[in-house]
Structure 1
């Protein structure tokens, strides 16, 4: 459906981001939705001096700072390219006009939101599990592509463990 979305009447703007370049910074309002054509990004927030990665996006994913996109208010989240990344962006206004244009686009948006809620619930469960090995196993089963697309130091941060612990778990 995402490919259909790109070919729909919705206006998409193609943008390229260099490694470490920000798509969105903390304190800004996200009025864009992003489809990642190629590359990968991380979504994180700052906790004092520490980065806390909460989500990744890579080739074929739609991403957005959902709290800001839905509320129209600034978000604490950053979206940063992990490597050279090509995205297609659509404005919130254009996207919502498209979603309201028919049953199929509305069903797609509802399925996307349901999927995001399910992902968030799984993420919350992951954070409640004490064992690093269990967190690793859950994420590996759920998102094996993550380990191909994202450097280990970011995955370790996401899993709330040291890079050394992640390395040991990957070897075992």
Structure 2
């Protein structure tokens, strides 16, 4: 179903980081094409082999994106409220997705379909610029994460993640985080144990 301005407030604030948006652009061009979609825990939102039809803003909940290799899952993204998630390559190229997108928790997404987005871009240069800047933003985040996987040790990745995303540690199953951080499960458990020890012996906790 479509959304009102109150429901889409966080999404609109997110978009206004990139370009100024007029009330007319929000009410007449953006809101009519935003669809609210609700998913239960562990529900598939995008399936590998299918074309991704939506770009999604997480209004509530937690999601993961992963691919399968020999039936083993490899997580490439874990995102919570206030972030975008989709199978981007599939969405923009209109080719079958290599990834699954799945809810970790019950989730509410604000979604825009590919066709609606393209029609919106044709009507407004400002909104077309918005789309380009959002795409660049997500590409930069992806590149930064890929760099951290190469340049940082597993311990450094773990500590940085805990310091920057302490709430996700409590919400995501350990096996998912180990896969996302590219850390062996037993190593992840050891790191987590060290963190607990440091928190119990330190006046100022690290998270």
| TM-score of Structure 1 vs Structure 2, range by shorter chain | 0.7 to 0.9
Query: Helix, strand or coil: the match of 2:112?
Result: strand
Cα distance, 1:52 vs structure 2: 0.4
Distance 1:76 1:61 in 2: 21
Secondary structure in 1 aligned to 2:92? helix
Bigger radius of gyration: 2
Would you say 1:169 and 2:186 are equivalent positions?
Answer: no
Structure 1 partner of 2:83: 61
- Cα 1:34–1:130 shift into 2, 3 Å: closer
Does residue 106 of the first structure (1) align with residue 108 of the second (2)? no
Task: Describe the SS at the equivalent of 1:75.
Answer: coil
Q: Decide which of 131, 147, 158 is 2:169's aligned counterpart.
A: 147
Contact 2:11 2:59 in 1 (8 A): no
The residue that corresponds to 1:82 in the other structure is 104
Q: CA deviation at 1:97?
A: 2.0
Q: Give the deviation of 1:118 after TM superposition.
A: 1.1
Instruction: Give the 3 Å change call, closer, same or farther, for CA 82–57 of structure 1 in structure 2.
Output: same
Greater share of residues in strand: 1
Higher relative contact order (CA 8 A, sep 6+): 1
Task: State how far apart, in whole Å, the 1-side matches of 2:185 and 2:115 are.
Answer: 41
Q: Stretches of 4+ moved more than 6 A in 1?
A: none
Given that 1:68 and 1:75 are in contact with CA atoms closer than 8 Å, whether structure 2 keeps it comes out as: yes
Q: Partner of 1:95: helix, strand, or coil?
A: helix
TM-score where L is the length of structure 1: 0.86
Q: How many residues align?
A: 172
CA distance in 2, matches of 1:50, 1:129: 24
Q: How far apart, CA to CA, are the structure 1 residues paired with 2:160 and 2:144?
A: 9
Q: What is aligned with 2:119?
A: 97
- 2:37 is aligned, of 15, 22, 30, to 15
Moved more, 97-106 or 115-124: 97-106
Structure 2 residues not aligned, in runs of 5+: 1-9, 16-25, 199-207
Q: Distance in 2 between matches of 1:73 and 1:13?
A: 22
Please say if residues 24 and 80 of structure 1, whose CA atoms lie closer than 8 Å, have aligned partners that are also in contact.
yes
Corresponding residue to 2:140 among 118, 122, 136: 118
RMSD: 2.3
Gapped runs of 5+ residues in structure 1? none
Local SS of the residue matching 2:177: helix
